Amino acid sequence: MTAKAAYESLANQSEGGSTPASVRSKELAAVKSRYNVKALEKQRSDMFIRAPRDGVISYRNAEVGGYITAGSKVLTLVDNSHIYVDCSLSENDAAVLEPGMDVNVTIDALGRTCPGKLVFVSPAMGDDSKTFMVRISLEADRSEIKSGLFARSAIDILQKKDTLFVPKEAILTKNGRTSVYVYDENTGTVQEKQVAIGLMNDAEAEIVDGLSEGELVVTSGQDRLQNDMAVRVKNMDSLPDSPAAKQEDGAEGAEQR
């Protein structure tokens, strides 16, 4: 009877009919201990900061043995292995750009020009700047180039021969209407003419329709002019050879193109 009672006691302690409950309890305790070990290893690993990529530390706000709060900026890692130049362009320039175009980038601080390639053109205009952002990847040696330097880029997009153009300062845009003021040498007055604009660069705008070669256009002070207003041009004899002639009585500048 004593042996039978001992046997039944052990049988009642088994789980699932095969594993004794005391053994199962030890196994669960071992699993819990392994989780505790992993948690401690994770805490120890968090004491070390590892860079996700190669680079140079340009900023450090921590010392050995110091305390910092959660969310504090500790280090800044600069990776100069890939140097990009971001530019903002108007809609006229961005409309004809495509990724893959070769671009020359001039870095004034280094005094040299580096080759680059256009890798991204924004598909939408920025809400704040009303411009399109493009990105250029530099293909030159990046060992001397530092992040944050200012750069100037230039690209030949479209070129036309024998193009009629005027300075951009001469263009007036009002209510969707583009015009220029033209000086009449015979009457000494100015007239506003509506024009159609073609290609543009930083200084000039192509005139597709509305002007003829040799006409004099006003480049400043147009907001004070009206049709048939008489103006007097200074140095009239030098107009063909002068890039900009001064005017009085409302028209401050005229240029012949």
Output the pLDDT for position 34: 92
Same domain membership, residue 242 and residue 201: yes
Q: What is the mean pLDDT of residues 103-116?
A: 84
Residue with the bigger pLDDT between 43 and 7: it is 43
29-78 confidence digits (pLDDT tens): 888 999 999 999 998 888 787 888 888 888 888 888 888 888 888 888 88
- Does 206 map to a domain? yes
Which has the minimum average pLDDT: 87-101, 191-205, 240-254?
Answer: 240-254
Of the candidates 111, 129, 133, the residue with the CA atom closest to the CA atom of residue 121:
133
Q: What is the mean pLDDT of residues 222-247?
A: 63
- Does 77 map to a domain? no
Output the pLDDT for position 243: 37
- Does 120 map to a domain? yes
Residues 193 and 179: beta-carbon distance below 8 Å? yes
Residue 209 has pLDDT above 60, yes or no: yes
Output the pLDDT for position 143: 66
Domain range for 90 is 84-154
Domain count, the chain: 3
The mean pLDDT of the chain is 78
- Does 145 map to a domain? yes
Gap between the Cα atoms of 29 and 84, Å rounded: 55
- Does 177 map to a domain? yes
Same domain membership, residue 169 and residue 150: no
Of the candidates 53, 51, 35, the residue with the CA atom closest to the CA atom of residue 43:
35
